[in-house]
Amino acid sequence: MRLLSLPRLAAILLALAFAAPAHAQQPAAPLAARITLDEAKRAVDAAEAEAVKNGWKLVFLITDADNKPIYLRRMDGVPLRNYDIAVMKTHTAITSGMHTLDYANAVKEGKRQPIEGATNFEGGLLLRRGGAVIGAFSASGARGSEDALAVKAGMAVIGITP
């Protein structure tokens, strides 16, 4: 029996690696649609501009579809409790699959069971792209309808409609 030299064995293995059929490597699956950090910053900039224009002091939170934070901003003078409310709003939107106002109405009408840790405050909206939920965007610090207006202004800048 004849043994191969180490350089010759390495050359054979290398040749076999490159001779593998082209179909053996599958193309990577496309990434799920998601909101980018740049989009989140631009959306919050627009939402904050709307808040400043109206004299509101707000906390803004954008999360991914798993409700993990992508971007947070708390304007000067906003109480810390508003951060907690903004977190509850994104939690409610992601968990229920609904904007917080729609969720609150569904619970009130008996069409939906309450979710633990959810809120019925307006101002937490789902972010959808291509029909898929890619995250949530919330604001807190003014009336719920005002929080929602600021969020919608931010969504418009990145081409997402409520």
Separation of alpha carbons 124 and 99, rounded Å: 6
- Report if residue 15 sits inside a domain: no
Instruction: Encode pLDDT of 42-93 as tens digits.
Output: 999 999 999 999 999 999 999 999 999 999 999 999 999 999 999 999 999 9
- Report if residue 11 sits inside a domain: no
- Report if residue 137 sits inside a domain: yes
Instruction: Encode pLDDT of 111-148 as tens digits.
Output: 999 999 999 999 999 999 989 999 999 999 999 999 99
Separation of alpha carbons 22 and 136, rounded Å: 41
Dihedral angle computed from the Cα positions of residues 110, 112, 113 and 116, in that order, rounded to the nearest 10 degrees: -130
CATH code of the domain containing 108: 3.30.450.150
Instruction: Give the neighbor-by-neighbor strand order of the sheet with 124-129.
Output: 69-74, 59-64, 132-140, 124-129
Please give the tally of structural domains in the chain: 1
Helices 80-96 and 100-108: crossing angle in degrees, nearest 10, is 70
Separation of alpha carbons 153 and 33, rounded Å: 21
- Asked whether the beta carbons of 59 and 71 are under 8 A apart, the reply is no
Q: What is the pLDDT of residue 25?
A: 54
- Report if residue 30 sits inside a domain: no
Judged against a pLDDT cut of 90, whether residue 21 lies above it is answered with no
Residue 21 vs residue 5, higher pLDDT: 5
H helices within the chain, ranges in order?
A: 6-18, 37-54, 80-96, 100-108, 144-157
Domain that holds residue 60: 37-157
**How many Å is the Cα radius of gyration of the chain?**
24
Residue 42 vs residue 26, higher pLDDT: 42
Quick one: pLDDT band at residue 3, thresholds 50, 70, 90? low
Residue type, 127: L
- Point out the least confidently predicted range of 13-17, 84-88, 104-108: 13-17
End-to-end CA distance of the chain, in Å?
74
- Report if residue 60 sits inside a domain: yes
Residue 122 — φ and ψ, nearest 5°?
A: -70, 155
Q: What is the pLDDT of residue 34?
A: 85
Q: What is the pLDDT of residue 29?
A: 47
Q: What is the pLDDT of residue 149?
A: 98
- Report if residue 109 sits inside a domain: yes
Separation of alpha carbons 69 and 21, rounded Å: 42
Of 137, 133, 130, 121, give the one whose Cα is nearest residue 69.
137
DSSP 8-state code for residue 32: P
Residue 159 vs residue 11, higher pLDDT: 159
- Report if residue 1 sits inside a domain: no
- Report if residue 87 sits inside a domain: yes
